[in-house]
Chains A and B, each alone.
Chain A
Amino acid sequence: MATERPGVGSPREVPILRVENLAISYETRYGEVTAVRDVSFEIGRGETLGIVGESGCGKSTVAFGIVNFLGRNGRIVSGRILFQGQDLVGRSERELRRLRGDRIAMVYQDPMQALNPSLRIGDQMAEVLIVHRRMKKDEAEERCIRMLERVYMPDPANVMRRYPHQLSGGQQQRVVIAMALLNDPALLIMDEPSTALDVTVEAAVLDLINDLQEEFDTAIMYISHNLGVIARVSDKVAVMYAGEVVERAAAEEIFLHPSHPYTLGLMRCVPRLGMEKASSYLHPIRGRVPPPNRLPPGCVFEPRCDFARPECAERRPPLKRLTDGHWVRCFFADEVASKGQEALAARWRKEATVHEPQREPTETILTVQDARVYYSVPARRLFSREKPVVKAVDGVSFHVPKQRTLGIVGESGCGKSTLVRAIIGLEKLSGGGMEFMGFDISVPVSKRDLDLIRNIQMVFQNPDATLNPSFTVGFQIARPLRRFRAVPKDRVKDEVIRLLNLMKLDASYYDRLPRQLSGGEKQRVAIARAIAARPELVLCDEPVSALDVSVQAAVLNLLLEVQRELGTTMLFIAHDLSVVRFFCDDIAVMYLGQIVEIGPAEAIYAPPYHPYTEALLSAVPIPDPTAEQRQIRLSGSVPSALNPPSGCRFHTRCPRREWLPDGGRICEVEPPPWQADTEEHRILCHIPLEQLRRMEAVVSEEVRDAG
């Protein structure tokens, strides 16, 4: 590799990867199905191409197609894959094997699955060098340790001797990335590498990818469904829909001037950090991604498109060049581009009041006072007398006024789900009390009065698990109606159909089984089931996080509608801070079983912040490459709830500790006090409020207006 390298972007340089008209098909029991067609793009040295789209759009198929790893039933039908100028299509397995892991490396979702559970990290890493470079074992290991250092892995020599399950998710992903970089590959393919990680860990991994790109000058193909993540890492973006690249342009261009209806739709259906329901509206994309064996005859997006005209259904639009490097597969790209500007601006129009804010003080419906949920876990050591206790929720207090929505945010393991399960009575309280509409609800659901049970219902996260697969939709929505005798027996079916209609589903859904429904439809049925008996309080545990973005918006809008019509009070758990900000009136931020900051939504998202809130906000990926966001990164991972840190639980990771005298000695010793910023906004921190108030906003408030 001693040859002279021309500079990045030099026009005559051969791109690292150039894909031309790639088509990939799979042999299925319905015959041969084309999963990807007519895909073209190129990636130059040191460039990152982001590929974005919903699940089932063929993003991963393209990635595996490049290394021709399509399994027994997949094959490349046509097209060329030029890697450093040489076509990979039709190469022998042996030649491809030499490239894989050496010149082309791949990182994909869920690092725990990607690492072999029964081999030590060191062995798994070193073998890449041993196989491709014929290196001696100790030499290879030394090189691995150096590489682990470069991905900021603490104590790399020790990590080499460990097994995957002994590392945290973020550490595992660092190992996988280090392993991919060992041979200094020319092309790095990353398939949703940060999706399974918590938001603060994700931010750190994304930073790492940016650093490495500068350092290694590798071409990166980065696949994600998350526009924010794509905006953060990409130089160029390709938007995929139903197996086709529908739009392709430089990152800024595509985010500023989206010209395909699908791209525009993706941007309009996710809330941006700072958007709130009072002033903005989410625009869902109707319908769903068609399965590859039932594509529409014309434009693949036509059935879901707001701009569609008759000709769209007849003919497939060609890939059209809009400006230099901006290609769109749409007949009316110019129209979309100009209308899109208005549409994007419209979502920010503050005067367009969509929802009446509930600001006048109302009666409190739910009060939680010093709630604790502890679990005892089996002792680790054989002869230890104490049973270790996990303090999943430890001294949480708040109250929710009627008809308002309280959002609870925090990373996985912070106790937010446990808290909600305790409120509904599925979890036993170990201490403290809860009151709902004046009744004591600190007892489990089996000891509650039927009317009380009726009044608290829940919407769950996973659409595939929320409905019983053995029963029809109608039966499942009718069950709470019958059980709580909400309507007379002979009117149950009518009521179910009314509820279905309320959820924008027609009566034909009554007899369907859950497996005949899409994720979004299942979630709507689940909402219908939850509100069937007209509960006063609905608990939503990440109701949209497992859904594709285009569907998320529809479900969120439905929840808002329900709340407006029925006046339901809601508790809304999510890890996506943009969604929470959009949806909730008040927000509580949880860390390791405690609330660290609570207050009205707008107060949470502006200084003063709790240092943890500040870090969370700075980690949120914003779908705008021009957005300014301060970088505050947390070190380490969330400590175990088995043995939470003394004093302030956040002190082990707090980046603001040094503001206090003596390097924040007090944080290690004394539990922090509640400080009231306003009557409603409180922060659990040792740092004086005045100092917290002097913090800068994490995201610049200035909202970029289109045009």
Chain B
Amino acid sequence: MARYILRRLGFMLLTMFLVSIAVFLISEVAPGDVARHILGQFATPEQVELLRDQMGLDEPLYVRYFDWLIGNDWRLRRLVGMPLKQVLIPGRADAEWYAIAPDGTMLQWKMKQEGLVEIRVTPDGERTEVLFDGWLVDENGEEYFWGVDTAGHVVLWKKGEAGREVGPASAGRAMIEASGVEYYPIRRGLLRGDPGISFRTNRPVGPTLARRLRNSLSLAGIAFVVIMPIALVLGVLAGLREGSPLDRTISLFSLITTSVPEFASGVFLILVFAFWLKVLPGAAVFPDDTAPLQNPKLLILPVLTLTLVEVGYVARMTRASMAEVMNAPYIRTAFLKGLPYWRIVFKHALRNALIAPITVIMLHVNWLVGGIVVVESVFGYPGLGMYLLDSALFKDINAIEAGAMVMVALAVGSQLVADIIYTFLNPRIRYT
């Protein structure tokens, strides 16, 4: 069994690796220049070029992939000559990069009118700014310096090239600063918990993503808890009485509810409960996107919408499996052994009948995720789905990539859980 699970785990890691490449390629190689998209169509070519440099888009693809996946601070520290460290700014969903001097002082550099300024923050939080004078000289006699700027880049400054500002830019990014000659955005990498900066909000993706994920998980979790018992009971009942009026009713009901797209059933529910009956709110508008559970009433319609679509699907799977098992020869044996009906159902049939649907149900997490994106959009619920949708519409690459990887990890992880449950239900795999 260990062998089987390890094998599945191996496949899962392989799948995640392939998926990460796919996600990266699809979103980064997409037609259309991201920098141009961010700056708007009136930006000058220099501005676009500069932004591409600052975003690291001018690097070769494989470098970008590995920077994205495992970060580049360990690589860039050699340029600066000091370890680099990310520091969260208290009270804001934001983080800054510093170079760490041997004595523990955190250093940043900024080009100002008077020249390059070194910002020093001592371990006890004292902040001072001094004019920088530690320039190095290259073989051509030019003075240069690799440092860390205030926006999380490792920058090559050259003495004499004073800071210039390259015009205004659109959304989020107030001004493009171009004091340096070369830029490398510092990343800690997805695997180390840093999916990068959102182009849309100009903030790190991580904290927002976590909050949205929590919202979505609460919605999905509640839906899951509601759906599973209903669906399993309906499916088992229908499967036990295959061909009976009860079975036909349940089957038809599940087929219809499953077929109606979430946005349509969501609309129906809003019309009925919010518009005509006026008993429930029709949209899940929260004052801030922190706490969906504080107002459970807002969750009823979204959960109901998900339930309508999912119950039918799971019930149908369970029904098919149950009906098949009830026709199996070993169930006939159990009847011929003179066992009471419910003993046969619970002891002999149920376990075998659940093997198939449990795996399918877990695989169905994929589908549930899809439902969540739509349902969140229907009800304006601030979850991961909405975040992804907004990011996709804005081409916010870092956010899409991170959100996608989280969703895929959820899906693949649930498959692994399904595999493990499967081995526990199925002794043929447990004892080979």
Contacts and interface: CB of A to CB of B under 8 A. Distances in A.
Contacts of A132: 338
Contacts of A101: 336-339
B291 to A, nearest CB: 44
B276 interface: no
B200 interface: no
A483 interface: no
Contacts of B329: 108, 110, 113-114
A676 to B, nearest CB: 44
A131 B340 contact: yes
Contacts of B333: 114-116, 176
Contact of A163 (B335, B338, B347, B427): B427
B348 interface: yes
17 contacts: A100-B338, A102-B338, A113-B328, A113-B329, A113-B330, A115-B330, A115-B333, A116-B348, A118-B426, A127-B339, A163-B427, A163-B428, A165-B427, A166-B431, A179-B337, A381-B3, A382-B6
A97 B343 CA distance: 13
B193 interface: no
- Size category of the B interface is 20 to 34
A308 B338 CA distance: 46
The 5 A-B pairs at the shortest CB distance, nearest first, are namely A101-B338, A100-B338, A101-B337, A113-B329, A116-B330
A35 interface: no
Contacts of B431: 162-163, 165-166
Given A113-B330, A117-B330, A166-B431, A100 B336 contact: yes
A382 B347 CA distance: 33
B3 A128 contact: no
A168 B284 CA distance: 61
B325 to A, nearest CB: 10
**A-side interface size class:** 20 to 34
A119 interface: yes
Contacts of A684: none
Contact of A114 (B3, B330, B340, B343): B330
Contacts of A72: 243
Contacts of B3: 381-382
A280 B389 CA distance: 82
Contacts of B330: 113-117
Given A97-B340, A163-B431, A382 B335 contact: no
A106 interface: yes
A131 B338 CA distance: 8
Contacts of B352: 116-118
A269 to B, nearest CB: 30
B23 to A, nearest CB: 31
A100 B347 CA distance: 18
A131 B332 contact: no
A221 to B, nearest CB: 13
B338 A117 contact: no
Contacts of A114: 329-330, 332-333
A132 B330 CA distance: 19
B121 interface: no
A69 interface: yes
A110 B338 CA distance: 20
A46 B332 CA distance: 26
Contact of A119 (B328, B336, B347): B347
A382 B426 CA distance: 20
A132 B334 CA distance: 13
Interface string A81-122: 000000000000000011111100110101001111111000
Interface in A66-86: 67, 69, 72
A28 to B, nearest CB: 13
B351 interface: yes
Given A113-B329, A116-B352, A99 B338 contact: yes
B351 A118 contact: yes
Contacts of A115: 330, 333
Nearest to B427: A163
Interface string A162-178: 11011000000000100
Contacts of A176: 333
